[in-house]
Amino acid sequence: METKRPHNLAEQISAYLDGELSEAERAEVQERLESDPDARRLMAELRQVCHLVGSLPREHAPPEIMELVTAQIERHELLKDGPQAGYGVPRRRPRWGRIVASAAVIAMAASAGYLTFVSFRNPAATRTEERFGPVADAHRATPPEAPAERTGPKAAVKHKGPGYRDAEEPPAARPSPAGRSPQGPSQAVRVFEPPVAARMDEHVPKAPMTTAPAVEIVRAGRSGRVESEAGRRLPEVLAAKADGLAEGPNVQEAVTAVPPAAMADTPTERRTADVAPEQPVAAGSEEPADRLEIELAFGDVASRARAGREIVQLLNSLAGSVVARSDLPYGQAAKRLTPGAPARELVASQPERTSREPECEPGRDFAGERIVAHVAAASLPGVIARIERAAQRARTVHATAGRRVVTDWEQVRILADGYGRYATPPLPGDSPACTSLGRAAAGLPESQTEAAVATRTGGWRAKPLPSARSTVEAEAARREREDHRARAVTGMPLEGELGAKPLGELPKNTRTEVPLPMSQPCLSVAQADPDGSDAKTGKRKGGVTEWRFDRAAAGRPASGPTGTGRVPDRSPEPEITPAEDASLRLRVVLVVSPAPDGHPASAPLSGQRDRRLPATRPGP
Amino acid sequence: MTSAAAAIAIEDAVLVEQTRQGDVSAFARLVSKYQDRVFNTCCRLCGHAEDARDLTQEAFLQAFKAIDTFGQRSGFYTWLFRIAVNLSISYRRRNRREIRLSLHDAEDGEYAGGQAAGLLRHPRGGPSTENPSGPMQERETHEAVMAALESLEDEFRAVVVLRDIEGFDYRQIAEILGVPPGTVKSRLHRARMALREKLAPVIGAA
């Protein structure tokens, strides 16, 4: 007992300091303290330890915690009833899942067919007999309370087997559409016979339907037509969905607007209707298999990975409509980017591994700077808007996390092939990389490509200022972060970004320049016309482009210095001297550009980028 | 339980119930209420602000997902801290063998850059002209305490953080860690003895 005493005493003193002893224990410890100087010294030291630990400065949660949690909750709520999101490789649906899905599709088809059939048997449906003649006669010949009809879709599926027909269905009860069977009609069998659907297509006029819908199924077909079932008026339905898609507030809406492809083959009776040409859904549906390429070229590795994770998660949440894969292994493009450093130094920096890299192994997580996905055309606008928001959120979060990151040269480049309605034909002299504004134009040295200079062959070029940051720049960065944070909170894009207006409002066959945020000093980058004619703020004549720094666009007083100059085409080191208080932060947010068949932009990667990044492992 | 603690528990219970009924803003209030404490705890447990931010976020997200399973037998914050502590300990065990290379420069941890950030912090007259030895000594003490904390095993560091930094009592710590109160008492004693040994120079100097 005596040997345990020192240990017990220290433990009791520790608890005594915390006030966690009973009355008897406390009295015992106090008595010991009065008589034992070692015990008193021990208590003093333990008290000091407690004080030292307790005096550590309290860390306050970063302000973006709330935004992060809210965003995660939003995503959780969004995906709660939908497909589960995951990283990296899209999960293969288990076999039983496919079986169940197939059964569900069959059951849905049976239900739709049955309900359609019932709707045609409804006396309220006027002129049905005139339209379908013998079919309507067959309806009349079979009373509504016939057993075959009462069994509904379930029985209809059962009746599909030829054995059933031979055993239970008299041959005379079979349908009698032309060219099918000489026997008489039978409701249950007749409903699911393909020739009936064919006849429906032939005879049903394309006028808007007024029949009350028994079941609402709207789908975008690969033919570019939108099909409706059960007589729903299409224009209203599509307009509502198109509005939702254009705003892009809810991925789930975009998903529901694009039912699984399996539905396109359901053997149900259908009616087709042309979609008004101004419907974005119809326009996007012209090319149903859209290749969506997202290139992340901002910040450092961690911020790109964060954005990539968000985007891949978003894409994976659209399971069935999207197949996402990444092409570049994470970490190979790692660069240590230093704010204010010359672009050339950025490239010279060695890749640096961080503790976060193992979280992003290829095949398990987002694995690169480039994501290729195939998105159903109808959901493309909503998907793009969400991608931009996800990338923006990731940038914002990272920029305010107290880490050293570069946000000066941000860019998210999205190539949406086949997005024909808003397609822009490539201009002469454009390299593949230049089919969108921005990154890595042909002819620029790699040092400038790293800086993500918005450029175009023969057009405008800029480079970051090599000097150290000034307080003005730091203040501008702070304002920019606040803007981004405000956007992350409200979900509203800032003025000038593409997301601020529906894609449908973009001018056709023109490039779209996205101005910088109002708080950001900017360089007005004008695109010279390929034929050398006057452009908005620049002229290109004889291979030389004149430029000027647009102070008005930058929100600067008109009395300040205004830069002008002449830049030879393809000059490797263009000299652009902005006003002294302007940091050349070119920020191209989003450009949807065309990729016509055969155009080099359809290639996975341009050579320029391949040189900069090491060889890649193919994505899963 | 004091009246203030009871009031907090009741308020939390109301917010939890509202969250269960689909009111996300109620959960946002819970986040706002506890984010600093959870973040500070995660920060002291994992030793890295970046990781602590992610862990805090994950803790709140897990709490939201599991809010329906929260039986209200204990306080919400106790339950939340249990999630956060478990996440932090798991994370630390998972990443124990990793070599951490900070992206920060030793002399410059600010996003906006060292000089510029310094100028922004002292816009009118440059750096503070107060006696620099005081803050420097204090910082050294804090670094020593942090290093001593870092050297503790996870379970010992957890009890110290929860007791001496967050001020939980033994019963609450036992709930958070899922151990008997006697274990809390024992661990706390051993942790403090270890800290006393490691901080002997600091204590002696004081």
Q: Dihedral (C-alpha) A235, A238, A242, A248: value to the nearest 10 degrees?
A: 150
Lowest-pLDDT range of A293-302, A378-387, A408-417:
A408-417
Question: Hey, is the C-beta of B112 within 8 angstroms of any chain A C-beta?
Answer: yes
Q: Do B145 and A52 touch (CB under 8 A)?
A: yes
pLDDT in tens, A523-576: 222 332 333 333 334 444 443 334 444 445 545 444 444 444 443 333 333 333
Q: Do B24 and A70 touch (CB under 8 A)?
A: yes
pLDDT at B194 over 80: yes
The label of the residue with tokens 């590795």 reads A301
Query: Measured at the alpha carbon of residue A253, what is the angle toward residues A248 and A256, in degrees to the nearest 5?
Result: 140
Q: Is-contact A187 A196, C-beta < 8 A? A: no
- Partnered with residue A348 across adjacent β-strands are none
Closest CB from B40, B60, B141 relative to A52: B141
How far is residue A119's CA from residue A214's CA, in Å, rounded to a whole number?
A: 8
B1-36 in b/e form (b: 16+ CB < 10 A) is: eeeeeeebbeebeebbebbeeeeeebbbbbbebbbe
Closest CB from A46, A473, A475 relative to B192: A46
User: Quick count: other Cβ atoms within 10 Å of Cβ A117?
Assistant: 21
How far is residue A353's CA from residue B102's CA, in Å, rounded to a whole number?
A: 10
pLDDT at A275 over 50: no
Residue of B nearest to A11 (CA): B189
Closest CB from B50, B64, B196 relative to A49: B196
How close is the nearest chain B Cα to the Cα of A44, in Å?
A: 10
Phi, psi (degrees; rounded to nearest 5) at A469: -70, 145
pLDDT in tens, A77-111: 666 544 333 333 334 444 555 666 677 777 777 77
Q: Do B117 and A336 touch (CB under 8 A)?
A: no
For chain B, report the end-to-end CA distance as a whole number of angstroms.
36
- Partnered with residue A416 across adjacent β-strands are A292
How far is residue A297's CA from residue A409's CA, in Å, rounded to a whole number?
A: 8
Average pLDDT over residues B15-29: 83
Q: Shortest CA distance to A207 belongs to which of A283, A133, A123, A272?
A: A272
Q: Do B61 and A468 touch (CB under 8 A)?
A: no
Residues 6+ apart with CB under 8 A from A268: A109, A112, A113, A116, A197, A229
pLDDT at B179 over 50: yes
In the stretch 356-415 of chain A, residues with CB closer than 8 A to chain B read 358, 399-405
ipTM: 0.81
Q: Shortest CA distance to A189 belongs to which of A206, A203, A172?
A: A172
How close is the nearest chain A Cα to the Cα of B139, in Å?
A: 9
- Secondary structure element (H or E) that encloses residue B27, with its range: helix B24-46
Amino acid sitting at position A599: H
Residues 6+ apart with CB under 8 A from A147: none
Coil, strand or helix at A281: helix
Average pLDDT over residues A215-232: 30
Question: Hey, is the C-beta of A62 within 8 angstroms of any chain B C-beta?
Answer: yes
pLDDT in tens, A400-450: 433 322 232 233 334 333 222 222 233 333 333 322 223 332 333 333 222
Question: Hey, is the C-beta of B106 within 8 angstroms of any chain A C-beta?
Answer: no
Q: Which residues of A touch B117 (CB under 8 A)?
A: 474
Closest CB from A20, A73, A340 relative to B24: A73
- Secondary structure element (H or E) that encloses residue B41, with its range: helix B24-46
- Secondary structure element (H or E) that encloses residue B198, with its range: helix B181-198
pLDDT of residue A210: 27
Residues 6+ apart with CB under 8 A from A24: none
Q: Do B202 and A52 touch (CB under 8 A)?
A: yes
Closest CB from A58, A74, A336 relative to B40: A58
Residues 6+ apart with CB under 8 A from A432: A599, A600, A601, A603, A606
Who wins on pLDDT, A492 or A301? Answer: A301
Q: Which residues of B touch A405 (CB under 8 A)?
A: 111
How close is the nearest chain A Cα to the Cα of B202, in Å?
A: 9
- Partnered with residue A272 across adjacent β-strands are A227
Q: Shortest CA distance to A465 belongs to which of A408, A530, A550, A535?
A: A408
Residue A293: pLDDT band by 50, 70, 90 thresholds?
Answer: low
For chain B, count helices (H), then strands (E): 10, 0
Residue A254: pLDDT band by 50, 70, 90 thresholds?
Answer: very low
For chain A, count helices (H), then strands (E): 21, 11
How close is the nearest chain B Cα to the Cα of A67, in Å?
A: 10
Interface A-B: count of C-beta contacts within 8 A:
174
pLDDT at B85 over 80: yes
Question: Hey, is the C-beta of B66 within 8 angstroms of any chain A C-beta?
Answer: no
pLDDT of residue B160: 92
Q: Do B100 and A66 touch (CB under 8 A)?
A: no
Q: Which residues of B touch A59 (CB under 8 A)?
A: 36, 39-40, 43-44, 49, 52
Q: Do B142 and A470 touch (CB under 8 A)?
A: no
Q: Do B170 and A20 touch (CB under 8 A)?
A: yes
Lowest-pLDDT range of A51-60, A528-537, B57-66:
A528-537
How close is the nearest chain B Cα to the Cα of A410, in Å?
A: 16
Residue B191: pLDDT band by 50, 70, 90 thresholds?
Answer: very high
A170-179, A269-278, A336-345 — most confident range: A170-179
pLDDT in tens, A308-341: 666 666 655 553 344 333 333 333 332 222 333 2
Q: Is-contact A3 B186, C-beta < 8 A? A: no
How far is residue A517's CA from residue A460's CA, in Å, rounded to a whole number?
A: 20
